[in-house]
A = this chain, B = another copy of it.
Amino acid sequence: MGSFVATWGERQLTRALLRVLGDPPVRVELWDGDQVRTPAADPDASPKVRLHDRRALFELLYRPTLTFGDLFSSGRLTVDRDLTDVLDTLYGRILSRERARGPLHDALSRALAHRPRANSLNGSRDNIHRHYDLGNDFYALWLDREHMQYTCAYFPNENVSLEQAQEAKLEHVARKLRLRPGETVVEAGGGWGGLARYFARRHGVRVRSYNISGEQVAWARERAREEGLEDRVEYVEDDYRNITGTYDAFVSVGMLEHVGVRNYRALGAAIDRSLKDDGRGLIHAIGQNVPRPPNAWIEENIFPGAYPPTLREMMGVLEPFGFSVADVENLRPHYARTLRHWRERFEAHRDAVVDRFDERFARAWYLYLSGSISAFTGGQLQLFQVLFQRPGCRALPETREDLHADA
Contacts and interface: CB of A to CB of B under 8 A. Distances in A.
B312 A400 contact: no
Contact of A394 (B272, B316, B333): B333
13 contacts: A100-B319, A155-B399, A156-B399, A289-B322, A289-B325, A312-B316, A324-B330, A328-B328, A379-B392, A379-B393, A399-B404, A400-B400, A400-B404
Interface string A53-73: 000000000000000000000
Interface string A364-392: 00000000000001111010100000111
Interface stretch (A34-42, A91-99, A142-150, A354-362): A91-99
Contacts of A49: none
Given A289-B391, A327-B330, A312 B319 contact: yes
Contacts of A106: 320
Given A319-B312, A404-B404, A95 B324 contact: no
Report the interface size class on chain A.
35 or more
A155 B400 CA distance: 11
A98 B319 CA distance: 11
Contacts of A310: 315, 319
Interface of A: 92, 95-96, 98-100, 103, 106, 154-156, 265, 272, 289-291, 310-312, 315-316, 318-334, 377-380, 382, 384, 390-394, 398-401, 403-404
A90 to B, nearest CB: 14
A402 to B, nearest CB: 9
Contact of A398 (B100, B315, B322, B333): B333
Contacts of A394: 333
Nearest to A386: B328
Nearest to A378: B392
A356 B348 CA distance: 78
Contact of A95 (B319, B329, B391, B399): B391
Given A379-B393, A391-B289, A398-B155, A330 B321 contact: no
B391 A379 contact: yes
B320 A289 contact: no
Given A401-B156, A404-B404, A99 B327 contact: no
Interface of A is mostly: mixed
Contacts of A321: 99-100
A311 B378 CA distance: 25
A325 B328 CA distance: 9
A378 B392 CA distance: 5
A92 B323 CA distance: 16
A326 B287 CA distance: 12
Contacts of A155: 398-399
Nearest to A377: B392
Given A392-B95, A400-B404, A319 B333 contact: no
A294 B310 CA distance: 26
A222 to B, nearest CB: 35
A219 B99 CA distance: 39
A290 B322 CA distance: 6
Nearest to A325: B311
Contacts of A100: 319-322
A96 B272 CA distance: 13
Nearest to A399: B156
A261 to B, nearest CB: 13
A384 B327 CA distance: 9
Contacts of A390: 379
A386 to B, nearest CB: 8
